[in-house]
Amino acid sequence: MISITEILKDFPIFETKIHGKRLVYLDNAATTQKPRQVIEAISQYYETRNANVHRGVHYLSEIASEDYEEAHNKVAKFLNAKGMEEIIFTRNTTESLNLLAYSLGLNELEKGDNIVLTRFEHHSNLVPWQQMARRQGAEIRFIEMTEDCRLDLASAEKAIDDKTKVVSITHMSNALGTIIPVKEVSKLAREHGAYMIVDGAQSAPHMPVDVRELDVDFFAFSGHKMLAPMGIGGLYGREDILEKMEPFLFGGDMISIVSFDNATWNRLPWKFEAGTPNVSGGIGLAVAIDYLGKIGFDKIHYIEHELTEYAHERLNELSFIKIYGPEPKYKGAVVSFAMDGIHPHDIASLLDEDGIAVRAGHHCAQPLMKMLGTDSTTRASMYFYNTKEDIDALVESLQKIYKLFS
Amino acid sequence: MSSMYRQLIVDRYKAPLFKGKLDNADIHFHDANPLCGDEIEVFVRLDDEGKIKEAKFDGTGCAISQASVDLLLEGIEGMTPDEVMGLDADFIKEMLNIPLTPVRLKCALLGLKVLQAGILIHKKKQEAGES
């Protein structure tokens, strides 16, 4: 078992002082900090192995290609995919979802079809589908949210029908933390022959994901929310579907034979990776996955759940705080809240003056915020390197802020 | 570091001096910052010489945007609309005298933007009336 002190030593950022104070980083749903192992892997790649992949026959190009392919294998194991042919590297979840919206939207979506989403979606799993629905004359439907901010499965049965071509849902709400019962929804998608897509940006960093156990066709995620660098993310896709699917981006590396008039496509997964890829990002992602494996998701879940329960307990002591979202047992390590008479931007600015980083705003979920009757909330989101002292610092600072304004 | 929330800002947010509405305002405009939901509506009455006689605002939002517009309306009394059009971000920064990050500067400038948009509309109406 690795102790929290040892873990913290792996993250150089915690040596940085914010306005002369200790950094209390509670903005992990936006992006996580990077362990030194990941940072070193990236610089080591550029210092000793840098070359373009799948091009040259020279030594560096071959080992860069090998490392890059190995990173795909690592992600395949991480998600329990069959192999690297099912793993496409992208920039992030947004790009993965756009790949699907464009490829499935332009080639398979027909007038009168419907696309089913939830009320919890991040703009990245809403706006691409809105655009495709508008272009193809399809309808967008929503699985509703219950009063206690969970997924209303009964409404899923109404929303998904034989005209449903795509069901695309988040695995965990970035704004509220709600965990979505993907498997139950997936069953309904299967019954009606729809593609089942999961936005795993918030789940992959925090819980074990088994795409075969979840029985989904696609699973999108971002590296930077799980210790890896920004600019690398991925998409799992079922091999038989990817084989038939049209590419999203065209150009170098994704082709097999090109003439002036025509082109054929490369084998999987390269058919979906046009242009020079983010090799150092892929290598960093592989090291991040190793790091998560070393800690273990059991321990990650244990730490995060304890922190979430503790945060709820401490914040509920404050009469001027209102928490949005479900009880801790139904969510990940996200606490979204409002404070009587004080705007989230003021809260976040004042917390920042105490070295505490949180997110204030609509969390890229404007329609959801509107449903909750607000424009914005303050959100504290935790990872396994946070401690109860971080929550205490947050609570103490919130008390000071309330006093300043009353 | 010095706080963005010096006492004057907090006081003018909690108890603004220029909050309210004006009937028959010469200049009137309403706008919002969609990113944070801050909203400001300004009302201005001019005197016979065309100078600002009275100004009020209504709105919701963060302390920076609301205190900033309250202080701005205090500062523009007696100015002509053209003089207000000449005010810029530096004027607001000097007026608030707090360390503003780029994101929060947008909050601070919302009131001035709404006021200047209202003045432009007023001028267009006047021109249309004259011609």
> How much is the mean pLDDT over chain A?
96
Q: What is the pLDDT of residue B103?
A: 87
B3 touches chain A (CB under 8 A): yes
Interface test with B, best of A17, A345, A363 (most B CBs within 10 A): A345
* Strands A377-381 vs A359-361: parallel, antiparallel or unpaired: antiparallel
3-class DSSP assignment, residue A11: coil
What are the C-alpha distances in Å from B86 to residues A313, B76, B107, B112?
52, 11, 19, 11
Contact call for residues A166 and A178 (beta carbons, < 8 A): no
CA pair distance A228, A282, nearest whole angstrom: 9
| Segments in A234-325 forming alpha helices (H) | 239-244, 279-295, 297-316
CB contact under 8 A, B104 and A404: no
Can you read off the two tokens belonging to residue A140? 């967008």
- The whole-number average pLDDT for the span B104-126 is 95
Predicted confidence (pLDDT) per residue in A367-391, tens digit: 898 899 888 899 999 999 999 999 9
| Residues forming a β-bridge with A197 | A168, A218
Q: Report all structural domains of chain B as residue ranges with CATH numbers, in order of start.
A: 7-122 (3.90.1010.10)
Among A212, A221, A218, A220, residue whose Cα is nearest residue A194: A218
Among A319, A295, A328, A332, residue whose Cα is nearest residue A177: A332
Among A273, A281, A230, A217, residue whose Cα is nearest residue A250: A273
CA pair distance A284, A214, nearest whole angstrom: 26
Among A200, A206, A171, A228, residue whose Cα is nearest residue A299: A206
Residues 6+ apart with CB under 8 A from A200: A93, A171, A209, A219, A220, A221
Q: What is the pLDDT of residue B20?
A: 97
Among A229, A342, A232, residue whose Cα is nearest residue A291: A229
Give backbone dihedrals phi and psi of A178, rounded to 5 degrees, phi first.
-50, 130
Shortest Cα distance from A315 to chain B (angstroms)?
22
Q: What is the pLDDT of residue A375?
A: 82
Shortest Cα distance from A332 to chain B (angstroms)?
25
For residue A366, what pLDDT band results from cuts at 50, 70 and 90?
confident
What are the C-alpha distances in Å from A164 to residues A112, A125, A194?
9, 16, 6
A58 touches chain B (CB under 8 A): no
| Residues forming a β-bridge with A21 | A18
Minimum CA–CA partner of B61 in chain A? A343
| Segments in chain B forming alpha helices (H) | 7-14, 63-75, 81-85, 89-96, 102-130
Percent of residues, chain A, with pLDDT higher than 70:
100
B87 touches chain A (CB under 8 A): no
Q: Report all structural domains of chain A as residue ranges with CATH numbers, in order of start.
A: 4-30+296-405 (3.90.1150.10), 40-293 (3.40.640.10)
Can you read off the two tokens belonging to residue B51? 């100078």
CA pair distance A160, A145, nearest whole angstrom: 15
Predicted confidence (pLDDT) per residue in A270-328, tens digit: 999 999 999 999 999 999 999 999 999 999 999 999 999 999 999 999 999 999 999 99
Predicted confidence (pLDDT) per residue in B42-101, tens digit: 999 999 999 999 999 999 999 999 999 999 999 999 999 999 999 999 999 999 999 998
B101 touches chain A (CB under 8 A): yes
CB contact under 8 A, B64 and A345: yes
- The whole-number average pLDDT for the span A137-144 is 98
**Is the ipTM, as predicted for this complex, more than 0.90?**
no
Question: b vs e for A257-279, b when ≥16 Cβ sit within 10 Å of the residue's Cβ?
Answer: eeeeeeeebbebbbbbbbeebbb
